[in-house]
Amino acid sequence: MPRSSDRAGAPALAWETLLPLGDDAAPLRDRLERSIRDAVHHGLLPAGSSLPPSRVLAETLGVSRWVVTETYGQLVAEGFLEAVVGSGTRVPLHPARIPDAAAAALAPVSLRGDYRRPRFDLGPGIPDLRHVPRARWADAMRRAFDALPDGELMVIDPLGHPLARSAVADYLSRSRRAVAAPDDVVITHGATDGMTAVVAGLRAAGHRSLLVEDPSWGRLREVAASAGLTPVPVPVDESGVDVDRLVQAADRTGARAALITPAHQFPLGAALSPARREAIVRWARAVDGVLIEDDYDAEFRYDRRPIAALQGLAPEHVVLVGSLSKSMAQAFGLGWAVMPAELRRRIRLADRPRPSVLDQVALARFITSGDLERHLRAARGRFRRRRAALLAAFDRELPGLAVTGIAAGMHAMLELPTGVAARDVRHAASALEVAVSDLARYRATATTDADALVVGYGNLSDALVDEAVARLAAAIREAEVTGARRRDRAVEA
Ligand SMILES: Cc1ncc(COP(=O)(O)O)c(C=O)c1O
């Protein structure tokens, strides 16, 4: 298949393509013809792209216009190029004369495998990619760009554009009860980027370890470790991170900083209990410590209003980290971190790669216009209904298996029958086009606890919920058989 450089099918302008003529003795016309053929074969002039008008190319190359019109004419006569009324000369969409080998080089640039989502997407933490508000974002981007004074195309504040910092501060104060003035906000590329800055600041302030929930998202543990902070795992139960054990681990290791997910523990799905919220803040104050609050999907609560951010209880000890990755999509590459001034001063923010000013002003516009909150309201309704449909399907297809986690976010935990290995379920599910994750993947330490699945529903089409669960149930039955066979073989051996 030819590669079209524009997915919508509009001809792409390839006027800037360099067409070297070489310096051999061949006539100019032949050299230009060879150069165009080479450029097409190597995909520099993709299928469907428009070549420069003959006058423009003649000027660029410093040759007579006749050389160009003759060359174009020859290639059009062969069917290698086509002349389209109104669009000039272009590479055909379906090249007839390109030899197979060259046509293969024009094959679509395929996306890396992990970007292609499976048909039955039960991967956790993936938002509804079909409902990303593309048009509203594009509108915010255009309006914000139109309104951006020329001078600000040069001003790049390492902490973020003032409009974005102010819009995010207002949004978080409103929706998360955060205590945040614009100056407290740093605009980031997302939670991982925010975390990278924060752990660098902690390291600079003398921290050597970081208390982390076990289980938790491994990526942020890795970020801490690569900054030189040793992760210290702390167990989690149905009331969130075990604060007594956290204090013990802190006393043992001297750790004075912790990374937590109080609104919705990832992946177990608990909310930190009110008593533990108070206890952890008390601890942070007592040791002059820092709590990093990963507020990754807190906007999505279905049985009550979202719990306020912990940051609002102790802004001088809590860093609130958030992003658009769950509420919109990771592709936006935008997030924020609300930090105490003391920590902000420690971070060499000027050295950080900064999000584009255009993206930042678009974010500001998207928030101040109310579009973010409109989108969140609609997404919340969709996720609430989908979660209910998923739990009903679990009930029908997998009666007796416990589903845990509060009614929030975009995932639920599904217990597995005794003797069924999550790994076997994942493999069997994958053969049925179902992607699902398991708890072991998020553990910081090995455990003998029962296996469980982390089942996401953010990116699962409503129409496929029942079928996805039926396939998952089939995969669990198959894994049961696999497990039984394995045990039989072990007994025989
Ligand atoms: C627990 C948790 N926090 C935060 C994030 C968001 O990270 P980022 O904003 O870097 O995409 C994720 C994404 O998968 C996550 O699982």
What is the sign of the dihedral through the CA atoms of 195, 197, 201 and 204?
positive
Q: Do domains 9-116 and 134-370 have the same CATH topology?
A: no
What is residue 450's predicted lDDT score, i.e. its pLDDT? Answer: 75
d(CA 54, CA 102): 25
CB proximity list for 187: less than 8 A, separation 6 or greater: 159, 160, 161, 164, 165, 168, 334, 335, 336, 354, 355, 360, 363
Task: Output the residue whose Cα is nearest ligand 1's atom 6.
Answer: 191
Residue 80: pLDDT over 50: yes
Task: Output the residue whose Cα is nearest ligand 1's atom 11.
Answer: 325
What is residue 117's predicted lDDT score, i.e. its pLDDT? Answer: 81
* pLDDT tens readout for residues 427-483: 999 999 999 999 999 999 988 777 899 999 999 999 999 999 999 999 999 999 999
What is residue 455's predicted lDDT score, i.e. its pLDDT? Answer: 98
What is residue 110's predicted lDDT score, i.e. its pLDDT? Answer: 43
- Mutate which of 219, 332, 459 to test ligand 1's pocket (most atoms within 8 Å of Cβ)? 219
Q: Where are the beta strands (DSSP E) in 92-172?
A: 120-122
Q: What average pLDDT does the segment 164-192 reach?
A: 96
Q: What average pLDDT does the segment 77-86 reach?
A: 89
| Ligand 1 mean position, distance from CA 325 (Å) | 7
- Domain range list for the chain: 9-116, 134-370
| Ligand 1 mean position, distance from CA 297 (Å) | 9
Given CATH 1.10.10.10, say whether it is the number of domain 9-116: yes
Residue 77: pLDDT over 50: yes
| Ligand 1 mean position, distance from CA 296 (Å) | 6
Q: Which pair of structure tokens corresponds to residue 311?
A: 């940051």
| Ligand 1 mean position, distance from CA 110 (Å) | 25
Which residues line ligand 1 at a C-beta cut-off of 6 Å?
Answer: 125, 190-192, 217, 261, 266, 294, 296, 323, 325, 330, 335
* pLDDT tens readout for residues 228-282: 999 999 999 999 999 999 999 999 999 999 999 999 999 999 999 999 999 999 9
Q: What is the mean pLDDT of the chain?
A: 91
Task: Output the residue whose Cα is nearest ligand 1's atom 2.
Answer: 296
Q: What average pLDDT does the segment 368-381 reach?
A: 96
The percent of residues in the chain predicted with pLDDT above 90, rounded, is 78
* pLDDT tens readout for residues 114-160: 557 889 999 999 999 999 999 999 999 999 999 999 999 886 788 99
The model's pTM is: 0.84
Q: What CATH class has 134-370?
A: alpha beta
d(CA 114, CA 133): 23
Residue 3: pLDDT over 90: no
What is residue 7's predicted lDDT score, i.e. its pLDDT? Answer: 47
